[in-house]
Structure 1
């Protein structure tokens, strides 16, 4: 395919951001990371390396609960690193799991494993002295953290159960192919973390370019009718189209994204736009074309407006579509019919096409830790020791124990029950999610993960009091407006604005195709519960049959629907 750059006028003119300088001067993401690793005077990374380690899948963080105390003692912040693994499609073997379980227990500050809604896992609290050890451990079991953060294509999501049908298996395989095709080509990761020998040939980045993408980029593959990956939160999405039980092509949707800035009307969430249908054999060509266009046309003068959604709105859908066709050699056909009916995970046992069983278990907030009377982390490790299939991580922070034979089914279920992995969980709790937020996320403005369980308990009480015990509302809490918990695709979304204060959004839908609108600004959790008590009561009394909460609040006029986010999200 053609990889020719498109020249101005569609390039944004102006002074590049400092992030562009960092990338341009990094020697293909090496910087001075090697030298920084030898600096024992600080637990953190200096200068540009603070940003560059993100390309290697890591974020420098510190425990914000300890900041004030350490500052009073005239100590540096307790720096540590969060690492996110690359795991396209979310599949991991028991052997791999036991390796990460052991590392989490022995060499992280918190001892936990965090399942994320990027369909992978994160370690929190890795000290600098253990960083090479974690990368070597991952490499030894066939994993890495390349391209899971910063301005590249990140972990590719796909529908969670590849063995549900032949189509699901093919979707999973395409997730791997797309991930591999769009990875950075630089050898910096292997040189720095695995101590591989430097090769004297010159690095090049034929797809991502010498300064990589203007901003982070996210990709999904979705098999209707289940939208369990929340496709509208992502830049590039492939919706599987089938005929006679075979995958024949994809509908392409581009431009989804949820990150905003409080009170900045130049930012807005956006659902992805339909571009057209193309045959399956052109998938990598189309993926490369979309990424290379965003590489060339994306805004490198203002990171706030550098995501694909803003590029698409600035140049226009028709112009973007024509350029994809030119670069990929594809002539889009009209969008093929598809429909979404659900988006959450399907819990319990499901039988696969290979006649084995798959058990999906709920993990609140995705946090695998040994809680009092619920040793979840130990339980998964014990299952890994006994299990001959694999694990599949979902885009909703849950865990699937996959490939269980009929003979092993009772044993696996007994283990899951014994360690609290199967419990009497309400539909409401299963459809609620939060980002990590405090104490480790440097962007956090308010609590999310740590307050979600109690907040859901209060919502459960309201639901039960209204006769809705067996129903649910899609509920998301984000500690800041960056979109990690996908609150701006929920029926009820709370986005942190300051400690203990949130903006309350209402009106998304159950299938994740509509953005909610702000209902009340800068309120406490207690005040939000008061508002929700009244609204849920109205829903219980006046809903139509099977009408979701988000649909009800729009039909009843509590909020107006978002029709054009670029123009009416802030109105």
Structure 2
């Protein structure tokens, strides 16, 4: 008996809400006929956008309805509707793509999107600027390439992350296998996605009474759910930020299982103390034979006990935090029917970005390329989109996306290295990670103008901001010191800002909360140092703290470790926050 079957009957009232129960989104889900709603009907209408209920449902299909917020006032003055467009996100377990799949995404970005690709912090690809009339063909073509957008968004398990670097033995390849297995096992079973976007065969729930969601039930999860797999020592996926984080356990070169941590999550809401970022808590060890069943059982606990009335309080981290890890373990064991093994100690020494030339376990090579904020586009200084397309089309390397929004070109023969290098340089693409500077460890969410949740800029302002911070580092004699800078336009944490040496979180237009003190292994949250700092004053706010670090750091002590050791209150006493 599976965990979903074991718990389904006694907790069904928590999955199938009655009239007036739960949040508005819960009612939309329960009335959706397993994610169908009226998506197909509205898709066929000659309109530029979907109605409110369908906006919630298309998320499960990998789609966000957006509009160009830069144009809102102009269009409003002209009494024109908003400049509606759509973001389509593919689900790519472990970030692994064939060259053919990458080239399809590249082509669709030009044919239907805004001409750019965006690599996400969860190793997916987003296409932006797609019009409603082109949605069906875009998603249909993605599926023809043997990819999918199903469950890339919505109240389900999202893209399963995994360390992308093929530097280890067979064990590393098996980590990727488990990322794919978990992604497939935890995916929704509704045929709605295939009906609407793939084969066009309509099979209403009324006509198919046998169609069920055995794991999710008719209301799916209370909120999004995230799973990631880390390789020993390397926390490139930020494993402690996942709902379920798995750290691979090895016996020599053999993968023997995973240490499971649960209840991580980045999102919060300004001014609401009951919401907060949280690091995952160790739960158990899992063998390779039991890890999928354990993951399902954990997911069903969240399904049945997550907050369905308040979406801001609906992530699994709050269940773990409020009920406790012992209660959660007991509940998982009850559903599984066996006792969980205690968690092994975990050691994570760094967040590797896997940039530059590195040799694979099979003797071939991969090249990690830095992509600023994950945005693949051509500019006057670097034709990144064109250059990547030409290299992938010519050499047919494997493609892997990293949790830092970068790209790895894999399976390159020794004899091809010079030619690959030369082709990339012709397009102005930097191949030496040492030449990237302070931006090497920076990440930003898209924010304005398309994200409906953004209250401040992020992707568009971070490059110039990093340059100013880099100038301060150079003046202090700290050039080349690795400092992670993560910026978001709202507190939801898509770029995992609460884990960086420096985290910048949009508070309102041009105002940011400044966090400092994360560690380079991704095992510690940073702490709020200054609230509501104007964008232009962020470098001046950080400069005194950087100066103290230069003067008082211990041997090879990172910026985040220094801030943590000294303490935020002491740093505030000894520095001045630029607020004017």
How far apart, CA to CA, are the structure 2 residues paired with 1:210 and 1:420?
50
Q: Is the 8 A contact 1:553 1:559 kept in 2?
A: no
How far apart, CA to CA, are the structure 1 residues paired with 2:396 and 2:338?
42
Which of 443, 458, 478 matches 1:433?
A: 443
Moved more, 499-508 or 3-12: 3-12
Post-superposition offset of 1:339: 0.9
How far apart, CA to CA, are the structure 1 residues paired with 2:225 and 2:570?
30
Which of 137, 150, 153 matches 1:149?
A: 153
For residues 192 and 416 of structure 1, do their structure 2 counterparts lie closer, same or farther at Cα, with a shift above 3 Å needed?
Answer: same
Residue-by-residue CA offset, 1:114-134 (whole Å, 9 max, x unaligned): 011010110001000101111
In structure 1, the partner of 2:208 is 201
Residue-by-residue CA offset, 1:302-340 (whole Å, 9 max, x unaligned): 111110001112222111101212222442222223311
Question: Quick check: 1:382 aligned with 2:387?
Answer: no
How far apart, CA to CA, are the structure 1 residues paired with 2:396 and 2:67?
38
In structure 1, the partner of 2:331 is 323
Question: Quick check: 1:138 aligned with 2:145?
Answer: no
Residue-by-residue CA offset, 1:402-461 (whole Å, 9 max, x unaligned): 110112121111122222222563442111111000111011111000001101101111
How far apart, CA to CA, are the structure 2 residues paired with 1:75 and 1:39?
19
Runs (5+) with no aligned partner, structure 1: 562-571
SS at match of 2:7: coil
Q: Is the 8 A contact 1:240 1:247 kept in 2?
A: yes
Which of 33, 36, 55 matches 1:30?
A: 36
Q: Is the 8 A contact 1:356 1:403 kept in 2?
A: yes
SS at match of 1:462: helix
SS at match of 1:299: coil
In structure 2, the partner of 1:176 is 180
How far apart, CA to CA, are the structure 1 residues paired with 2:517 and 2:13?
35
Which of 346, 359, 368 matches 1:338?
A: 346
SS at match of 1:129: helix
Q: Is the 8 A contact 1:276 1:332 kept in 2?
A: yes
Which of 67, 70, 73 matches 1:65?
A: 70
TM-score by length of 1: 0.95
Moved more, 200-209 or 99-108: 200-209
Question: Quick check: 1:4 aligned with 2:6?
Answer: yes
Runs (5+) with no aligned partner, structure 2: 572-580
For residues 314 and 337 of structure 1, do their structure 2 counterparts lie closer, same or farther at Cα, with a shift above 3 Å needed?
Answer: closer
Post-superposition offset of 1:277: 1.0
How far apart, CA to CA, are the structure 1 residues paired with 2:12 and 2:394?
60
SS at match of 1:161: coil
How far apart, CA to CA, are the structure 1 residues paired with 2:413 and 2:446?
35
For residues 52 and 218 of structure 1, do their structure 2 counterparts lie closer, same or farther at Cα, with a shift above 3 Å needed?
Answer: same
Moved more, 411-420 or 110-119: 411-420
How far apart, CA to CA, are the structure 2 residues paired with 1:219 and 1:560?
37
Q: Is the 8 A contact 2:366 2:408 kept in 1?
A: yes
Residue-by-residue CA offset, 1:232-285 (whole Å, 9 max, x unaligned): 221001110011210111101000001000010110110000011121110111
Post-superposition offset of 1:208: 1.2
How far apart, CA to CA, are the structure 2 residues paired with 1:387 and 1:201?
47
In structure 1, the partner of 2:454 is 444
In structure 1, the partner of 2:195 is 191
For residues 329 and 402 of structure 1, do their structure 2 counterparts lie closer, same or farther at Cα, with a shift above 3 Å needed?
Answer: farther
Q: Is the 8 A contact 2:491 2:505 kept in 1?
A: yes
In structure 2, the partner of 1:564 is none
How far apart, CA to CA, are the structure 2 residues paired with 1:11 and 1:196?
33
In structure 2, the partner of 1:569 is none
In structure 2, the partner of 1:82 is 87
In structure 2, the partner of 1:56 is 61
SS at match of 1:66: helix
Residue-by-residue CA offset, 1:361-403 (whole Å, 9 max, x unaligned): 0000000001113110001100111123311000110000011
Post-superposition offset of 1:531: 1.6
Q: Is the 8 A contact 1:508 1:515 kept in 2?
A: yes
How far apart, CA to CA, are the structure 2 residues paired with 1:97 and 1:297?
39
Which of 232, 235, 254 matches 1:246?
A: 254
SS at match of 2:258: strand
Q: Is the 8 A contact 2:196 2:202 kept in 1?
A: no
For residues 10 and 462 of structure 1, do their structure 2 counterparts lie closer, same or farther at Cα, with a shift above 3 Å needed?
Answer: farther
How far apart, CA to CA, are the structure 2 residues paired with 1:452 and 1:184?
36
Aligned length: 559
In structure 1, the partner of 2:126 is 122
Which of 557, 562, 567 matches 1:547?
A: 557
TM-score by length of 2: 0.93
Which of 239, 264, 271 matches 2:272?
A: 264
Q: Is the 8 A contact 2:90 2:126 kept in 1?
A: yes
How far apart, CA to CA, are the structure 2 residues paired with 1:306 and 1:4?
23
Question: Quick check: 1:359 aligned with 2:370?
Answer: no
In structure 2, the partner of 1:504 is 514
Post-superposition offset of 1:136: 1.4
How far apart, CA to CA, are the structure 2 residues paired with 1:419 and 1:363?
14
Post-superposition offset of 1:559: 4.4
Post-superposition offset of 1:165: 2.4
Residue-by-residue CA offset, 1:193-240 (whole Å, 9 max, x unaligned): 123323443321111111100000000011121100111221001110
For residues 330 and 351 of structure 1, do their structure 2 counterparts lie closer, same or farther at Cα, with a shift above 3 Å needed?
Answer: farther
In structure 1, the partner of 2:577 is none
Q: Is the 8 A contact 2:430 2:436 kept in 1?
A: no
In structure 1, the partner of 2:492 is 482
